[in-house]
C-alpha cells in the first residue's frame, strides 16, 4: 500500500473508532490519522495472528481490522491515562 492509502485508511479508521468510543482523548486531525494508521498495523497483526486476514488496501475488511486495532489502542491509552 502506498502512503496515501495508509493516510486515507488511517483517517477513516481513526474517525470511526473515535465515534464508537467517544471521550476526552487528546489530539486533533493528525492524531486521529496516526491512531488509525497504527490501529491498522495492530489490527493487521491481530488478524494475521488469528488467521482471519490482513490489512491489504482500501477494502471493507481492511477498514474493519483498522477500526478494531484503533479501538484496542484507545482502550490501552485510556487504561494507561487513567492511572
Q: How far apart are CA 52 and CA 28, in angstroms?
A: 32
pTM for the predicted model, two decimal places: 0.82
Residue 46, Cβ density class (10 Å: 0-12 exposed, 13-18 middle, ≥19 buried)? middle
- pLDDT bin (cut points 50, 70, 90) of residue 23 is confident
Each residue's pLDDT tens digit, 34-66: 888 888 888 888 888 888 877 787 888 888 888
CA angle 7–50–37, rounded 5-degree value: 10
The residue whose grid cell reads 489502542 is 73
Amino acid at each position: 500500500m502506498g502512503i496515501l492509502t495508509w493516510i486515507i485508511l488511517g483517517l477513516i479508521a481513526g474517525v470511526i473508532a473515535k465515534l464508537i468510543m467517544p471521550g476526552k482523548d487528546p489530539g486533533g486531525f493528525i492524531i486521529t490519522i496516526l491512531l488509525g494508521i497504527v490501529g491498522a498495523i495492530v489490527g493487521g497483526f491481530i488478524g494475521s495472528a488469528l488467521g482471519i486476514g490482513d490489512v491489504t488496501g482500501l477494502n471493507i475488511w481492511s477498514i474493519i481490522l483498522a477500526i478494531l486495532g484503533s479501538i484496542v489502542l484507545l482502550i490501552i491509552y485510556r487504561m494507561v491515562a487513567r492511572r
